[in-house]
């Protein structure tokens, strides 16, 4: 359904939630007048806006075609641009079987299979072909299961993998499949040129061989020149019109089938009438017939002995007494039949392998030979040499491309009448057919053709004929022409298919840097993608060797097939409810076997190519993960993650971790404004600095009200918080709770956030700056209750004061200190937090200083030594300082501060005023007291810096004057308030707060961050407001303060 339709339908006005659009029905087309026809369904009337009647649903499904719906679920915006298309018409045979057949059979069969049989022997060739065919058959079974699990639109393997394994795997494997298809195009073009220059018209070569041993180099240069020309020509053909390529496909297919029939006909004919292809051997060495025609050292004509052209190649003159090559002199020249026929028993000779080094001579095993001195130069002699070093794994890499092409049917799924039936049947039949052709050809080649010819890659021993052609009936030209057109056609089809695949990936929008390739001509032809494809193809052409290009594309295809198998195995093992394939003959063990076989073949072919291909796929995967568009396709990897998460959560013990594993698992309590925006974003910055992406982070907030009424606001708040988490790079979870009471909401979060063993152990919140002025929803009462509840829940508490002054993630402190004031030990959290903060770039250059307070009875020198030793064992680098703080007289400032605090508290209790009046009166008294005591306050602040020298005390006269002054108050409730004396316990607490604040200011006023022990709230709830005042006084004058209250358990250990 398109986005426009979704917006029109909008959220359901009754419950405030947006319902998911149906993937089947375009609701804009529904006739709403008919919705309520069934009067007996009045019970469901209210739901019919969003939930259609079943009859309407079935009616829409009946008129549904898979081509247009293919991308309706996930690419909704593209749907409106699509034009009307004719209903798909193709059946299994035309739509799947023949395209697969054409893609599988190709260049390797004609150009390299005979050479593979000769080199590896019939038995090992059989193993190579069987492994590769088993790999594709197992992949086809997995692919059939995925393809029949719902509708697969045009896009084939990329679509299947991305929707089964998610956008990251889909993008990585999709691009690998694209590169494989592109390199396949290069391989087919190289095959075309090889046929042209070696077998059809050798005289067309631009680079001629001048010196001996330069044949290979000249051939590669010819390949490069001709390849570049052909690729430009093919790109123009594809650009001008793909329809011509598709029309020619049938012609190319006919060429392939005719060629294969010619091979079988020729093999049968050899049983009673073998063709005459004599080969010339010198001793047991095969000779290339390109340079001579008569296979003899000399001929006798009219009793006159004449030397042959062959003699002149080995000797320094045409005379009989000429100096000749040692091996030539010692061995006889013999002529044997190149194709002795199926009944000759040559199969037994060809059963075993004959691997060789590069540049070695092709030799017949059981032929007599006398070794000469090997000093003579071999290069200029007309032997058949091997052009590359051969071994089993290399042959696997060269052969594997000949079994690729199994995706051709699934790529056309949009054009099939019944894709869910045709794809499995057609693909498996095509693989069975081609496997039979390959395996039977191996046996036929081994049984009909002499081993030396099989190992002769370019047919030099048979006058430069194509080796397969020598076997074919009625003429070698059937194979030469047939293979030329089939490779040409396959190259064109690769250049047609690869750009479309790239365009599909680009239009999905999951890989940002290739989005430009999603554009094309007005009719949708992918112009830019075609240019890129031609460019990558050119890289393959410049490599120029078919044997070097084949393993490259083997890697990319094998990786693609491996992930198809993985997708099937994952879906089957997870038993996802949506996994209901119509194709029933699959099992996860088969998929797993297929995946293992693909991986094994990758490393068998070429371990370094395999690593490079995996590195490319891995880089694309990580790129999509970090930069790509987030897509939710209900993929199997997400299901796998959920299963793994469930398993891990069940394994994690639901209890406190060992001290060595302890790290702050944070519950961050955020405050939202009326627009549901975060009031203090720096709290999230601080969270990411403290966590550095490790451990658990839950970001929670409370909305006041009823959930049914606040549903949309909750969604908006969650979106805002998640957006801010993304900006601040805070990795974690968001949880918004709606509660009638703000305090209860915080309590719910502290109790229930997290799951199983993954629960928070630390609460992080901001200090309520406006607790004095207004009774906002996060008033001092809520704050104190939160402190109490974290203590009851045995959780640590971090309170950031002046949070808006804390640094952002972009800031960097180049110097400064993180000061820890360690007053009481409650688990060592004060030590751990600076260490964690300094892991982040913001705080990395700050030094850690630890202060502890010595009282009257303490030995400060010993304390310092002990603390230094403790830090040494903790492996923490910090500067240690012990501050002495002795008892002395309670200052006037302290006395006044305590009295003022108690008066304010008492006044609020006595006055039964409305909220607004209470705020006004409280402020009035606060202001007047501040004004009347402004002078002592200034003096006291100076005294605080030098606490030992304070001599000022509270005088009776001053107190009496204060009392008389306030007796004139107009407010009736004040008569007792100013008669009161401050509570001695409160005076002592205030004295400690003032003294400690003075000491901290003296040492840490310019520190980047101050960490302080947070004293606990009083047990008696009546003193809650006084507690807030103590904390305010304790932290007065400091820029950035983190109040820390431990959970009571040890969080740091000296043991390893």
Which H helix or E strand runs over 801? strand 796-801
Torsion (CA) 116, 117, 122, 128 in degrees, nearest 10: 30
pLDDT bucket at 233, cuts 50 / 70 / 90: very high
Whether 441 shows a pLDDT value over 90: the answer reads: yes
Distances (CA, A) of 552 to 130, 497, 610, 640, 896: 21, 18, 9, 31, 85
Mean pLDDT of 760-777: 76
Q: Residues near 716 by Cβ (< 8 Å), separated by ≥ 6?
A: 676
Q: How high does pLDDT run on average in the chain?
A: 78
Confidence of residue 534 (pLDDT cuts 50, 70, 90): very high
Q: Which two tokens stand for residue 997?
A: 């604040």
Q: How far is 513 from 509, CA to CA, in rounded Å?
A: 9
pLDDT digits over 315-332, tens only? Answer: 888 888 888 888 888 888
At 52 the pLDDT is 67
Give tens-digit pLDDT for 405-435. Answer: 888 777 776 677 887 888 899 999 999 999 9
Residue 615 has pLDDT above 80, yes or no: yes
**What are residue 279's DSSP bridge partners?**
336
Question: Are 708 and 789 spatial neighbours (Cβ–Cβ below 8 Å)?
Answer: no
User: What is the spatial distance between Cα 870 and Cα 868, in angstroms, rounded to a whole number?
Assistant: 5
Quickly state the pLDDT bin for 888 (edges 50, 70, 90).
low
Residue 815, pLDDT > 60, answer: yes
pLDDT of residue 416: 77
564/165 Cα distance (integer angstroms): 9
- Which is higher by pLDDT, 974 or 832? 832
Beta-bridge partners for 81? none
Could you give the CA distance from residue 885 to residue 997 in angstroms, rounded to a whole number?
A: 11
pLDDT of residue 341: 86
State the pLDDT confidence band at 877, using cuts at 50, 70 and 90: confident
Q: How far apart are CA 314 and CA 297, in angstroms?
A: 9
Instruction: Calculate mean pLDDT across residues 679-691.
Output: 86
Tell me the C-alpha distance between 109 and 917, whole Å. 96
Whether residue 936 has pLDDT greater than 80: no
pLDDT at position 954 over 70: no
Question: In the predicted model, what is the mean pLDDT of residues 715-725?
Answer: 90
3-state helix, strand, coil in the chain (%, to 5): 55, 10, 35
| 431: helix, strand or coil | helix
- What are the angstrom distances between the C-alpha of 342 and each of 90, 137, 264, 279? 41, 30, 12, 18
Model confidence at 99: pLDDT above 80: yes
The confidence score (pLDDT) of residue 587 equals 92
Region 9-28 average pLDDT = 44
Q: Is the pLDDT of residue 295 over 90?
A: no
Distance CA 7, CA 201 (A): 66
**DSSP code of residue 21:** P
pLDDT at 44: 59
Nearest to 588 by CA among 606, 611, 571, 612: 571
What does 510-567 look like in DSSP terms, one character per residue? SSGGGGGGG---TT---HHHHHHHHHHHHHHHHH--HHHHHHHHHHHHHHHHHHHHHH
Residue 757, SS3?
coil
pLDDT reported for residue 467: 87
How confident is the model at residue 263, as a pLDDT? 92
What pLDDT shows up at residue 947?
Answer: 38
CA distance 566 to 589: 11
CB–CB of 552/235 below 8 Å?
no
Round to whole Å and give the CA distance between 1023 and 904: 12
What token pair was written down for 440?
Answer: 């039977």
Whole-number pLDDT of residue 897: 57
User: pLDDT per residue over 58-98, tens digit each?
Assistant: 666 555 443 333 333 334 444 444 444 455 567 888 888 88
Whether 606 shows a pLDDT value over 70: the answer reads yes
Residue 1014 has pLDDT above 90, yes or no: no
pLDDT range class, residue 141, cuts 50, 70, 90: very high
Q: What percent of the chain shows pLDDT beyond 70?
A: 75
* Least confident residue range of 194-198, 428-432, 998-1002: 998-1002
pLDDT-derived band at 811 (thresholds 50, 70, 90) equals confident
For the segment 557-589, what is each residue's pLDDT rounded down to a tens digit?
999 899 889 888 988 888 888 888 888 899 999
Which residue has better confidence, 979 or 943? 979
Query: Is 25's pLDDT higher than 50?
Result: no
Q: Is the pLDDT of residue 949 over 50?
A: no
Tokens matching residue 191? 């095959």
State if pTM tops 0.75: no
């Amino acid at each position: 359904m398109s986005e426009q339709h979704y917006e029109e339908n909008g959220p359901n006005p009754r419950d405030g939630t947006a319902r998911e659009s149906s993937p089947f029905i375009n609701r804009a087309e529904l006739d709403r007048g008919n919705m309520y026809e069934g009067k007996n369904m009045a019970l469901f009337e209210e739901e019919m806006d969003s939930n259609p009647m079943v009859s309407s649903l079935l009616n829409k499904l009946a008129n549904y075609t898979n081509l247009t719906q293919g991308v309706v679920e996930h690419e909704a915006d593209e749907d409106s641009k699509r034009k009307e298309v004719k209903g798909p018409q193709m059946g299994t045979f035309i739509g799947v079987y023949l395209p697969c057949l054409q893609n599988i059979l190709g260049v390797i069969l004609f150009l390299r299979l005979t050479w593979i049989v000769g080199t590896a022997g019939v038995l090992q060739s059989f193993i190579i072909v069987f492994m590769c065919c088993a790999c594709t058959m197992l992949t086809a079974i997995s692919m059939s299961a995925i393809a029949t699990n719902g509708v697969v639109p045009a896009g084939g393997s990329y679509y299947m993998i991305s929707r089964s394994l998610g956008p990251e795997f889909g993008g990585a494997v999709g691009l690998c499949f694209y590169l494989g298809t592109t390199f396949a195009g290069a391989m087919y073009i190289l095959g075309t040129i090889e046929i042209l220059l070696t077998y059809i018209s050798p005289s067309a070569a631009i680079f001629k061989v001048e010196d001996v041993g330069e044949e290979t180099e000249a051939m590669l240069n010819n390949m490069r020149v001709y390849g570049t020309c052909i690729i430009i020509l093919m790109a123009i053909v594809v650009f001008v019109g793909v329809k011509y390529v598709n029309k020619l496909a049938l012609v190319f297919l006919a060429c392939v089938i005719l060629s294969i029939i010619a091979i079988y006909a020729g093999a049968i004919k050899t049983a009673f009438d073998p063709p005459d292809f004599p080969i010339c051997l010198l001793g047991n060495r095969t000779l290339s017939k390109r340079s001579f025609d008569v296979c003899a050292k000399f001929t006798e004509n009219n009793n006159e002995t004449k030397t042959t052209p062959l003699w002149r190649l080995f000797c320094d003159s045409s005379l009989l007494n000429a100096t000749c090559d040692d091996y030539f002199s010692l061995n006889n020249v013999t002529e044997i039949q190149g194709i002795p026929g199926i009944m000759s028993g040559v199969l037994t000779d060809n059963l075993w392998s004959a691997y060789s080094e590069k540049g070695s001579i092709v030799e017949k095993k059981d032929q007599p030979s006398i070794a000469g001195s090997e000093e003579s130069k071999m290069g200029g002699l007309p032997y058949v040499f091997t052009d590359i070093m051969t071994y089993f794994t290399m042959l696997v890499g060269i052969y594997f491309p000949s079994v690729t092409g199994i995706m051709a049917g699934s790529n056309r799924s949009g054009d099939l009448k019944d894709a869910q039936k045709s794809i499995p049947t057609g693909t498996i039949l095509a693989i069975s057919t081609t496997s039979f052709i390959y395996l039977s050809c191996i046996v036929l080649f081994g049984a009909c053709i002499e081993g030396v010819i099989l190992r002769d890659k370019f047919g030099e021993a048979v006058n430069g004929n194509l080796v397969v052609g020598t076997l074919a009936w009625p003429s070698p030209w059937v194979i030469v022409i047939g293979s030329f057109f089939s490779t040409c056609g396959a190259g064109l089809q690769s250049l047609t298919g690869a750009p479309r695949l790239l365009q599909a990936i680009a239009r999905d929008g999951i890989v940002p840097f290739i989005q430009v390739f999603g554009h094309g001509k007005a009719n949708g032809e992918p112009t830019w993608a075609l240019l890129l494809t031609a460019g990558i193809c050119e890289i393959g052409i410049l490599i120029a060797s078919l044997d070097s290009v084949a393993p490259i594309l083997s890697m990319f295809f094998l990786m693609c097939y491996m992930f198809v198998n993985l997708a099937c195995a994952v879906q089957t093992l997870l038993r996802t409810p949506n996994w209901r394939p119509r194709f029933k003959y699959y099992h996860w063990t088969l998929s797993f076997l297929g995946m293992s076989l693909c991986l094994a073949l990758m490393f068998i072919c070429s371990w370094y190519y395999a690593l490079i291909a995996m590195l490319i796929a891995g880089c694309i995967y990580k790129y999509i993960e970090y930069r790509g568009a987030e897509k939710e396709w209900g993929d199997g990897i997400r299901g796998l993650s959920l299963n793994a998460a469930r398993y891990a959560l069940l394994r994690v013990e639901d209890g406190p971790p060992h001290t060595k594993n302890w790290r702050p698992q944070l519950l961050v309590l955020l405050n939202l404004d009326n627009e549901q925006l975060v009031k203090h974003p720096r709290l999230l910055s601080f969270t990411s600095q403290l966590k550095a992406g490790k451990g658990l982070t839950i970001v929670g907030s409370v909305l006041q009200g009823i959930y049914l009424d606040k549903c949309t606001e909750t969604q908006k708040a969650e979106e805002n918080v998640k957006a801010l988490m993304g900006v601040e790079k805070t990795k974690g979870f968001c949880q918004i709770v709606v509660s009638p009471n703000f305090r209860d909401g915080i309590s719910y979060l502290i109790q229930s956030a997290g799951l199983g063993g993954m629960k928070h152990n630390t609460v992080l919140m901001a200090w309520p700056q406006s607790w004095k002025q207004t009774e906002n929803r996060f008033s001092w009462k809520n704050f104190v209750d939160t402190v109490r509840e974290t203590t009851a829940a045995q959780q640590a508490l971090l309170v950031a004061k002046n949070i808006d002054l804390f640094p952002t993630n972009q800031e960097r402190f180049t110097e400064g200190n993180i000061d820890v004031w360690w007053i009481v030990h409650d688990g060592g959290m004060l030590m751990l937090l600076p260490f964690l903060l300094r892991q982040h770039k913001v705080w990395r250059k700050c030094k850690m200083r630890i202060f502890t307070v010595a009282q009257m009875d303490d030995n400060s020198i010993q304390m310092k030594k002990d603390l230094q030793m403790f830090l040494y064992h903790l492996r923490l680098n910090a500067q240690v300082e012990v501050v002495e703080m002795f008892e002395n007289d309670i200052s006037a400032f302290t006395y006044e501060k305590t009295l003022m605090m108690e008066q304010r508290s008492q006044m609020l209790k006595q006055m039964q005023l409305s909220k607004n009046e209470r705020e006004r009166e409280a402020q009035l008294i606060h202001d007047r007291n501040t004004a009347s005591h402004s002078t002592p306050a200034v003096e006291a602040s100076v005294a605080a810096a030098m606490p030992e020298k304070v001599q000022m005390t509270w005088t009776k006269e001053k107190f009496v004057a204060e009392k008389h002054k306030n007796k004139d108050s107009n407010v009736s409730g004040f008569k007792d308030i100013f008669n009161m004396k401050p509570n001695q316990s409160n005076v002592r607490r205030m004295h400690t707060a003032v003294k400690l604040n003075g000491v901290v200011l003296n040492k840490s006023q310019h520190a980047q961050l101050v960490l302080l022990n947070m004293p606990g709230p009083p047990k008696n709830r009546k003193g809650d407001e006084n507690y807030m005042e103590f904390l305010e006084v304790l932290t007065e004058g400091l820029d950035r303060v983190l109040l820390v209250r431990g959970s009571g358990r040890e969080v740091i250990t000296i043991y390893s």
